[in-house]
Structure formats: C-alpha cells, structure tokens
Chain A
Amino acid sequence: MNIPVIVSLFGFLVLIFAIGFWSSRNVNRKGSGFLQEYFLGSRELGGFILAMTMIATYGSASSFIGGPGVAYTQGLGWVLLAMAQVATGYFVLMVLGKKFAIIARKYNALTLVDFLRSRYNSKWVALFSAFSIIIFLFSAMAAQWVGGARLIESLTGLTYTSALFIFAVAVLAYVIIGGFRAVVITDTVQGVVMFFGTLIILIGTIIAGGGVANIMSDLMAENPNLVTPFGHDGSLTPAYVSSFWILVGVGVVALPQVTVRAMSYKNSQAMHRALIIGTVVVGFIMLGMHLIGVFARPILPGVEVPDQVMPMIAMEVLPAWLAGIVLAAPLAAIMSTVDSLLLLVSSAVVKDVYINYVKPDASIERVKKVSFGVTAVLGVAVFALALSPPDLLIWLNLFAFGGLEAAFIWPVIFGLYWNRANKYGALWSMVAGVFSYVIIHQFYPDPFGMHSVVLPVVLSFVVFVAATLVTQPKHNLEARA
C-alpha cells in the first residue's frame, strides 16, 4: 500500500466525477436534441478538445501499459514500430476531414453506422456494421477494463476483483450521467494528464539511468540488439514493423471511435487546430511512453510481467506523491478509451439497431431510458467478462482494431471518395474483411511476415471494387453523366 499514490489517484477520480455531473446538465437541458447531445455532444467540439479526445480515445491501455512493456522487452525496435502512430495525428483528420463532417451533417448522422446506412441506402450494411461494432468493440473494451483493474491492483494492493469493481463503477457513473460531452471533456483532462505524465516520467527515468548515453551503453552491454531496429532477438523484420502502418497508422481512419469524433467538430478552424495539436501530442506521447519502456530496462532489470513496467518505473524514479499524480496518466488513458467504447457500443445498440429497426417511433423519454439502460447493462456485461481476464492485453486490443479496420476502411473511404461505390460493394467488402481477418488471425497469423490485418484489408479492397463494378447498372452511370 502506498498512501500518497492512492490519495492522488482518488483525487483524480473525484475530479472526473465532478466533470461527469457538470456535463449532465447539458444532456437534460436540450430535451429535443437528446440523441445528438448524448452521442455527439451537439457537434460543438473546438480544436483543442477535439485533438485531446481523439488522442485520449486512441491512446489506450496498449500505449500506456502494454506498449512500454513490449518496448522494455524488445528495445528501440518497438519504439520505431510505435512511431507509425504519428500518422494517425494528421492522416485521419485530413482524409475524413471536411467531406465527412459535411456529409455527416447532411445525412444528420450521429454514428458511423448512420453514415454508412445513408450513404449506401441499405439495411444490411447498417445491421452488419452495427453487429461488427458491438462484437469487436466489446472485446476491445474487455481488454481495457483488464488493464485498468490491473493498474489499480498494482498501485493499491487491492484484489483484482475489487480493483475492477472500483474502475467499473467510476466509468459507468460518468458515462451514463454525462454522455458524449462528459466523455470528451474528461478525455481532455485525461489527455493533458497523459501528456505531462509522459514528460515527467521520461525525465525522471533519464535522470535515474544516469543520462541517455549511459542508458544506451548499459543496453548495449546487456544485448546489442536492443538498440537496433530489429528487436532483442532480431525477430522484428522490416516487413512486420512496416505492416503496423496499416494497423496503427492509416487504418485507424476506419475505427468507429475515431470517425465519430470527425463528425463532432464545430467548424473547419477547429479541425485545423486539432490537426496541429493532435500531431504534436500523439507523436510526443508515443515516442515518450515507449522510450520510457526501453530506458526502464537498465534501471529495473528482470521485470517478469511487462505490463507492470510502467507503474514500477514511475514509483521507482519519482517521489511518491508525484508518482501518484503521474500514474493517473495510464489510468486516464484507459478510462478515456473505455468510456468512448462504452458509449459507442451503446449507440450501436440504441441508435443503429433499436431506433432504426425495432421501434422507430420511440418517444424521447423512452429513448433516454433505453440509452441509460443499455449503457448500464453493457457495463455490467464487460465487468463480468473482465473478471476472469485473458492474458495478453495488447493483442486482444489489437485484435479488435484489426477487425474493425478490415470491416470499415473501404466502406468509409470509397463511400466518401468514389461516387460509384454501392451497397453491394460495401456489404461484401465488410463480410470479406471481417471473416478473413478472424480466420487469418486464428489459423495463419502473420502471413508473409506481416501483421494479420494486411491481407484482409487488401482482400476487402478487391471485393469492394469487384462487387461494385459487377452490380453497377448501366442507366445509373448515364443518368449522372
């Protein structure tokens, strides 16, 4: 038990609660715009908040707990791999950019599924995408909850179950109360904490290791491979590392938790500001966090569980009270990812399935009740799943990323930029992407030395183009010309 650490973490939770309650006033005030507000914060995000919420959502347990742990094992090669994520800082907003924001407004879309449904005019596209979101984000969420609970467990010495319980109650409370606005504003606080937390731990680690040059020579004395791009045993090949550009770089454009934020900005100035802030902060956090993992190696040799590297190094190199504040950063990352995912899965259930296909004439009051209820039920279900946690945190999380990217990347991109793209292309490409990803992931991981997401993305591209061209009626082309 470490009292100062616990006190500052507890203070952080209280702050988050306060923000959730404060945001709930907005949900109740705008009675008629409830859905717009609860799931999208009334499209009022400014540049700073937009950048921070994207980073906080995207920078999850894998970047703060799993990632530095792997970097500890692999050395600088893993930092190189992590830097593929700099691209997410600008690529997503530039590519979805103004077109997605304008079209989402025109369609009055609140979710990625809304956009796909209006663009392709197809019930099956909508249902299949809602289904994919529910399945994959559910598994992503479970991974994050395990990470959050492990972190609280290792900091406080509570049992895993009670740690998970505290974490679950905290997240559920402010999501159910505040909706999207609570999520993005807490994300902003968390993003700021993540940024400065990274900076402080990095500086502390470098000082504790006796300077960068000293740390590097310690690493080389232990294993020269640690300072090469090829990993501790030479297993990180250029093809494998480069394939992460698809998984964590450009493919992120298709993640529903990211696209929904590209619908929510207030105006194009907000988007421009978010581009700069996002690139700087994502790059800095990814570089810093993974470097901390590598630098921690000479200071704390022989850590058995890589996931514990981050909390251990923070408590090692910083005074206890500061470690407590800074360790709120990974907790912030996890919480802010979880809250977005939770809201997104419940929007898929409530908005995309229930309102569209089950009860289109539901009253506002009823929709409100269903929204809160579904969010709560989902939270309890994830809690149950996380009680007996699967072992490999980072891989479970990446499994979800890959599945969603394989499903949505071409329906989103072609939906925006290829006028002939139609519902047959979208549907078959999603089906091909999801099933080939699950099969390759299970039975033939890392084909040709690349991450298993690469082939499904290629396959769904081919299927999309083929299905669209085959089903394109002639008069459709003539009518447009």
Chain B
Amino acid sequence: MRENGKDELNLHTDPRFKIANREALIGVALVVINFVWWFGFAYGLGSAPVEEYTFIFGMPAWFVFSCIGGFLLMVALVIFVLKVFFKDVSFDEEEHNS
C-alpha cells in the first residue's frame, strides 16, 4: 500500500495541483450552469401547449433559448473563465526540459 508513497506525497504538496483542483471545480460549476439553463428553458417554455408557443427566427422559443442560446452562453463562459481564472503551468518535472 505504501510503495508509491512518494507519489502520493507529491500529489499532496505540488502547488500546481492547487491550480488544477480549482480549474476542475470551475468545470463542474460550468456544467451545473449549463444544465440548469438547458433544462429551465426547454421544459419551462416547452411544456406549454404548442398553440401557445412563441417563435424566434421561425423556431420555437424554448429551442432557441435552451439549445442555441445555451450553446452560445457556454462558449462565452468558457472563454471568460479561461481568460480570468485559468493559469499556465508546466507539465514536466523541474529537472526535465519542457
């Protein structure tokens, strides 16, 4: 059980993993936002009878907001978190070259 103790210890202390852990949490947060938006518009607007649908660009509003809007929102959010929160780190050990 302890044969790879050295690796485990490194996994604990390596400062790059603080960054990596935070970025993984951002990924989880984005999926939650994505799901709520997607679900909310699809079933919030889409559950009405078809006669009461509003249409945008010829398509039902639920579809435009949920699928097209949701997609564009996620692209914007991904670009935003990359610029603001994501940090460059080296993938190699210090002693190796990059």
Contacts and interface: CB of A to CB of B under 8 A. Distances in A.
B95 interface: no
22 contacts: A76-B63, A86-B34, A89-B74, A95-B27, A95-B28, A99-B17, A102-B14, A212-B58, A213-B58, A216-B58, A224-B50, A229-B46, A245-B31, A267-B91, A272-B86, A275-B82, A287-B67, A416-B24, A419-B8, A422-B1, A476-B2, A479-B5
Interface string B1-45: 111110111111010110111011011101100110011001100
Contact of A419 (B11, B28, B62): B11
Given A76-B63, A80-B42, A87 B55 contact: no
Contacts of A25: none
Main secondary structure of the interface of A (DSSP, over half): helix
B92 to A, nearest CB: 6
Contacts of B3: 121
Given A121-B3, A268-B88, A476-B2, A99 B75 contact: no
Contacts of B14: 102
Given A97-B20, A416-B24, 18 more contacts: A87-B35, A90-B27, A90-B30, A91-B31, A98-B89, A98-B91, A99-B24, A102-B20, A105-B92, A212-B58, A216-B55, A216-B60, A227-B63, A265-B91, A268-B89, A272-B88, A276-B78, A422-B1
A326 interface: no
Interface string B60-79: 10110011101100110011
A249 B55 contact: no
Contact of B16 (A80, A86, A102): A102
Interface residues of A, number: 63
Contacts of B55: 213, 216
A250 interface: yes
A227 B50 contact: yes
A279 B75 contact: yes
Contacts of B12: 419, 480
A284 B63 CA distance: 15
A106 B14 CA distance: 12
B60 A91 contact: no
B84 interface: no
Interface of B: 1-5, 7-12, 14, 16-17, 19-21, 23-24, 26-28, 30-31, 34-35, 38-39, 42-43, 46-47, 50, 53, 55, 57-60, 62-63, 66-68, 70-71, 74-75, 78-79, 82, 86-93, 98
B42 to A, nearest CB: 5
Contacts of B27: 90-91, 93-95, 97
Given A86-B71, A419-B8, A238 B43 contact: yes
B18 to A, nearest CB: 10
Nearest to B8: A419
Contact of A106 (B30, B31, B88, B93): B93
B24 A245 contact: no
A95 B78 contact: no
Nearest to A286: B71
A341 to B, nearest CB: 25
DSSP class of B's interface residues: helix, strand, loop or mixed?
Answer: helix
B4 A279 contact: no
Contact of A215 (B7, B39, B58, B79): B58
A480 B39 CA distance: 43
A279 B55 CA distance: 26
Given A87-B31, A279-B78, A94 B58 contact: no
Nearest to B3: A121
A357 interface: no
Interface string A206-243: 00000111111000100011011110000000100010
B59 A118 contact: no
Contacts of A102: 14, 16-17, 20, 89, 91
A227 to B, nearest CB: 5
Contact of B58 (A79, A211, A422, A480): A211
A301 interface: no
Contact of A83 (B43, B59, B67): B67
Contact of B82 (A228, A276, A419, A479): A276
Nearest to A423: B1
A118 B79 contact: no
A377 interface: no
Nearest to A245: B35
A133 B58 CA distance: 45
Nearest to B72: A283
A103 B75 contact: no
B7 to A, nearest CB: 7
A229 B78 contact: no
